[in-house]
Chains A and B, each alone.
Chain A
């Protein structure tokens, strides 16, 4: 079945450091790809998405490009802030049974220190 593998943490960075979180997927067809973020004590929020190959999603300084040839959707940010401390989940859409469900990676906890 469809699956997502993402870099596991936890990861600690200093403010203004560069961030990359790797995400690769296995899927039949052409799923949409997502990055969700979970701030402490909260539910998940959509950070960005891409619906087809070569699409770039971006939001709040984060970017990710849908790479079909490498089945990847790596998340990057050039300069992280303390407020970026959160758990980041890579996910793909799976329409098995008409559910349009999300299949998640295990998540990566990021801590950014001042």
Chain B
């Protein structure tokens, strides 16, 4: 199993540009998450999904969009990049409680800089 994979690893955007951060997991997990990690801070939840076709907002959703057309993929879209979105982005997944899971598995992260 590759686990949770994210692309790209690094990206520099100009203000106003858009991009999609990719996230894929091969563990057949229903639940997937996007977090951002700012320097000296813990992770904040942006969006989450409890299954294909179902998404919902987390604590800091403004400026982002997500979709979940398959169980494996959960892309995060930035439409109009702003300097405040400079951060490290982590995707995570887990089994649903009904499947007996509690641990979230994290990808390696995408470091995004908006200039």
A residues whose Cβ falls under 8 Å from a Cβ of B: 4, 32, 34, 36, 42-46, 49, 51, 89, 91, 93, 97-102, 104-107
CB contacts (< 8 Å) of B107 on chain A: these are 43
Q: How large is the interface on B (under 10, 10 to 19, 20 to 34, 35 or more residues)?
A: 20 to 34
A98–B50 CB distance below 8 A = yes
B residues whose Cβ falls under 8 Å from a Cβ of A: 4, 31, 33, 40-43, 45, 48, 50, 56, 58, 90, 92, 94, 96-97, 102-109
> Which secondary structure characterizes the binding site on chain A?
strand
CB contacts (< 8 Å) of B90 on chain A: these are 43-44
CB contacts (< 8 Å) of A102 on chain B: these are 33, 43, 45, 92, 104
Q: A97-B56, A99-B50, A101-B33 are in contact. Are A43 and B108 (CB under 8 A)?
A: yes
CB contacts (< 8 Å) of B31 on chain A: these are 100
B108–A42 CB distance below 8 A = yes
User: Considering the chains assembled together, what is the distance between the CA atoms of A51 and B101 in angstroms?
Assistant: 11
